[in-house]
Amino acid sequence: MAADEFALHFLAGSATAVFAAGVGRLVAAHPHPHGTRLRVTVTLVDSGEQLGQVDVDETNLWDLGRFADRRAAAGFEPVSQAPRLQLLRGGA
């Protein structure tokens, strides 16, 4: 696996882990009275490799979809930015 391909695979796995953990916490914080009935699975398009999955209910999945729709319509920049390191030089 080439370095670029490895980095992209790692990024996809990390994004999947953040997504699944966040949705899992959302479902736990706001459970649906009938429980979870849907499973969202993240699969790499080019290889078909499954990276992860999370169970979710209809209400929380609806809310996630509405958030994505509003964000797309508003044209917001990504929520998080890549961390920046700044060299600080102190007087000695």
Contact between 9 and 17 (Cβ < 8 Å) = no
Rounded mean pLDDT of 8-14? 92
Distance CA 77, CA 68 (A): 12
Contact between 23 and 40 (Cβ < 8 Å) = yes
Residue 40: pLDDT band with limits 50, 70, 90: very high
Mean pLDDT over each residue of the chain, to the nearest integer: 87
pLDDT in tens, 53-88: 999 999 999 999 999 999 889 886 666 666 565 666
Q: Is the pLDDT of residue 31 over 60?
A: yes
3-state SS, residue 43: strand
Q: What pLDDT score does 88 carry?
A: 64
